[in-house]
Amino acid sequence: MLRDIILCLFIGYVFGCFQTGYIYGRCHGIDIRNYGSGNAGTTNTLRVLGKKAGYITYLGDALKAIIAILLVKYLIYGNLLVPALDFQLLLAYTGLGVAFGHNYPFYLKFKGGKGIAVTSGVMLALDLRIGLIGIIGFLIIFFTTRYVSVGSLYMSLAFPVCVLIFYPGQWHLFGISVVFWLMAWMRHRENIKRLMNGNENRFERKKKN
């Protein structure tokens, strides 16, 4: 099992290193990490390069998690007799590897994104119910408060809460989901400070002339 976990983490990490925002920025002549918040994720790309760039970045980052998990599910372990619980754990570890690769890509000096788009992709691929609860909740919070960070923190917390609800007693899977939550909160620590101080940036609509 340990060998399989390491393999899945590695596969996920390789997929996670595909930095959609960074690659999109490079295609447009900039290093996205040198602008805005310095983050290579969806929100900063959206703020700096516009809606199209933001949508492409989100889809690319979410899809790389989904594709990595589907690859492990159907091509690598699809024909092997793996117990259902172990199989679910291997898929979760694959998603965790994607998050690590996205947040800490080795070729960018471990300076990547915050992993929320990736987390949404992992949640969708593991269990559609969990994914929808996370994404719909994020959208409601975002459009109500205009704080991307609050919606992101909600989504990361929804992951372990939903695992407790839909997979009671599966503490190993719960532990993996808690790592996603902790990593997201760690990556958002500056946002949390600004929220507590009342000076977090809202995502405002641009006024039409």
The residue that leads in pLDDT, 183 or 79, is 183
pTM, 2 dp: 0.89
Categorize the per-residue pLDDT at 205 as very low, low, confident or very high, splitting at 50, 70 and 90.
low
pLDDT tens-digit profile of 36-83?
878 888 888 888 888 898 899 999 999 999 999 999 988 887 656 556
Which of 11-15, 138-142, 164-168, 199-203 has the least mean pLDDT? Answer: 199-203
- Mean pLDDT confidence for 116-129: 95
Provide the token pair at 51. 């809606």
- Mean pLDDT confidence for 99-106: 94
Do residues 9 and 97 make contact, with C-beta atoms less than 8 angstroms apart? Answer: yes
Q: Residue ranges per domain, the chain?
A: 2-197
The residue that leads in pLDDT, 206 or 194, is 194
- The helices-and-strands tally (H runs, E runs) of the chain is 10, 0
How many other CB atoms sit within 10 Å of the CB of residue 172?
13
Residue 136 has pLDDT above 80, yes or no: yes
Q: What is the pLDDT of residue 84?
A: 59
Residue 164 burial by CB count (10 A; 0-12/13-18/19+): exposed, middle or buried? middle
Q: What is the pLDDT of residue 80?
A: 62
Spatial neighbors of 125 by CB under 8 A, at least 6 apart, are 65, 66, 69, 70, 91, 95, 131
- Mean pLDDT confidence for 132-141: 96
Categorize the per-residue pLDDT at 209 as very low, low, confident or very high, splitting at 50, 70 and 90.
very low
Provide the percentage of residues in the chain whose pLDDT is more than 90: 63
Q: How far is CA 205 from the centre of its chain?
A: 24
Please give the span between the terminal C-alpha atoms of the chain, in angstroms, as a whole number. 60
State how far the Cα of 141 lies from the Cα of 123, in Å rounded to an integer. Answer: 18
